[in-house]
Amino acid sequence: MGEMTLLLGQTLSVNGDPFAAGWEAVAQVESRGGVLIEDGLIRSVGPADELSAAHPEAELRDYGDGLILPGFIDAHAHFPQTAMIASWGKRLIDWLNTYTFPEEMRFADPAYAAEIAKRYFDLTAAHGTTTMVSFCTIHPASVEAFFAEAEARGQRVVAGKTCMDRNAPEGLRDTAQSAYDDSKALLETWHGRGRISYAITPRFSPTSTPEQLSAMGALWAEHPECLMQTHLSEQTDEIAWVKELFPTARDYLDTYEAHGLLGPGGLYGHAIHLEAREIDRLKEVDASLVHCPTSNTFIGSGLFDTMGLASWGLRVGLATDTGGGSSFSMLRTMAAAYEIAQLRGEALHPAHLIWLATGGSARALRMEDRIGRLMPGMEADLVVLDLASTPAIAQRAAEADDLWEALFPTIMMGDDRAVRAVWINGRAT
């Protein structure tokens, strides 16, 4: 048994899917609660007085009226795009060619990859993100840099070498064989090491030949314990391009399905313009969709159907998609998800938003048994929010009648100033 630490404050956990059960049935709130952590795990959650009396030996961290939540989980990001976040203008394909690909070329330098990895983890921790799923670049050194930095911090992460063998500049293309070989070597070195998971990572169908997609499908079949991440139906002109490149495919999803890249453990980023067959197949195989709202508005992609897809039982996570997304903050991402749902005529409750950023993303990653909830046995990744972090937020929160009304201004207007403390693997950052 290790040393125990007892965190005190308001506690909130959404311990089940509010899209399925209704948020009132799954949200648990303690106005004066506590979370007992030991050896990197949550040991107990409950009223502060009971936990304090039962564990007088525990080191106390009293956050007053700070709100203790599970750490935020960013289910789709591009850490190599950190330095070029918020680059002006363009739609997806032009944006990739103008900004993304030139920046990713720089990751041929392992020192630069290590520098950006450190910067990325500093920025995400400051915003309360404790787990993220990232695309790296085609360079194995970019994956090594990301995983090495995560390992040093004891952080649960998922990432993989991005694979592209066409429609990308010289220096950012691999081959079907080298993508398979490099991915397999990285997977065998890193997957399951500490809190690290490998994701097989074809960028998207337009930048992979059918041969490369098949190679990635073969690798996934050999290692079904790994996740597979890619992009799907982000923009209408991208979908038209896919139809030109794959003229015999039934739809965009079929370009993955035909090559063994559809199944449980598949993470499909964006998924905005889905056809009925695609939705049916994604549900049938129990795949995961990842909503990237700040990215979808920033480059004009469209309005993801959060309520419809999540209510139908699909696994839906939430993500920043940095740097196509314009913020490292999962609070800002929740706000954008709320705004997009409003444009579709749906008002997401704060419990829905918190779930998407915590338990929902954990479920999308098939890690709901480890992260995303305040429950005994879960890994001790936590964020503590100040619900009065700015004068504008404070004056609104002061008028609140309950916790949800007090929390919502922070979701809508909060940033890294609202993050009072972050705990990763049972240690304060």
pLDDT digits (tens, 9 = 90+) for 159-197: 999 999 999 999 999 999 999 999 999 999 999 999 999
pTM of the shown model: 0.98
Whether 65 contacts 32, CB under 8 Å: no
| Dihedral sign from CA coordinates of 102, 234, 177, 167 | negative
Looking up tokens 């952590």 gives 37
pLDDT of 90 reads 82
Same structural domain for residues 350 and 260?
A: yes
Which phi and psi angles does 182 have, rounded to 5°?
-65, -45
* Final residue before a domain boundary, out of 364, 383, 398: 364
Checking if the pLDDT of 93 tops 90, the result is: no
Same structural domain for residues 104 and 94?
A: yes
Which residues fall within 8 angstroms of residue 221, CB to CB, at 6 or more apart?
Answer: 260
Domain span at residue 190 reads 72-364
1: confidence class by pLDDT, cuts 50, 70, 90: low
Same structural domain for residues 145 and 225?
A: yes
Same structural domain for residues 113 and 64?
A: no
d(CA 126, CA 120): 10
Which residues fall within 8 angstroms of residue 175, CB to CB, at 6 or more apart?
Answer: 165, 212
Distances (CA, A) of 348 to 288, 334, 344, 345: 20, 10, 11, 10
d(CA 314, CA 278): 12
pLDDT of 95 reads 84
Whether 387 contacts 406, CB under 8 Å: yes
Domains in the chain: how many in total?
A: 2
* Helix, strand, coil percentages, rounded to 5, for the chain: 45, 25, 30
Q: How many CB atoms lie within 10 A of CB 353?
A: 27
Same structural domain for residues 122 and 16?
A: no
Mean pLDDT of 88-109: 90
Same structural domain for residues 80 and 66?
A: no
Which CATH number does the domain housing residue 413 bear?
Answer: 2.30.40.10
Q: Which of 359, 428, 427, 408 is nearest to 75 (CA)?
A: 359
* Final residue before a domain boundary, out of 364, 389, 420: 364
Same structural domain for residues 389 and 335?
A: no
**Which of 1-10, 49-58, 122-131, 365-374 has the weakest average pLDDT?**
1-10
d(CA 37, CA 378): 10
**pLDDT, averaged across the chain:** 97
Same structural domain for residues 322 and 415?
A: no
Residue 347: exposed, middle, or buried by beta-carbon count in 10 A (0-12, 13-18, 19+)?
Answer: exposed
Q: What share of the chain has pLDDT > 90, as a percent?
A: 97
Same structural domain for residues 173 and 301?
A: yes
Checking if the pLDDT of 91 tops 90, the result is: no
Q: What is the pLDDT of residues 3-53, one digit of tens each?
A: 999 999 999 989 999 999 999 999 999 999 999 999 999 999 999 999 999
Q: Can you spell out the DSSP letters for 20-77?
A: HH-HHHHEEEEEEEEEEEETTEEEEEEEHHHHHHH-TTSEEEEEEEEEEEEPEEEEEE
* Final residue before a domain boundary, out of 343, 364, 385: 364
Report the SS3 class of residue 194: coil
Looking up tokens 């500093």 gives 122
pLDDT of 306 reads 98
Could you tell me which residue, 89 or 79, shows the higher pLDDT?
79
User: How far from each other are the two terminal CA atoms of the chain, in whole angstroms?
Assistant: 22
Strand partners, 427: 424
Q: How far is CA 178 from the centre of its chain?
A: 27
Backbone dihedral region for residue 205 (phi beyond 0: left; psi -120 to 50: alpha; all else: beta) = alpha
Same structural domain for residues 12 and 134?
A: no
Same structural domain for residues 34 and 126?
A: no
Same structural domain for residues 321 and 215?
A: yes
pLDDT of 294 reads 97
For residue 279, give the amino acid letter: I
d(CA 104, CA 113): 9
Distances (CA, A) of 9 to 223, 355, 420, 425: 42, 20, 12, 19
Which CATH number does the domain housing residue 137 bear?
Answer: 3.20.20.140
Which phi and psi angles does 314 have, rounded to 5°?
-70, 145
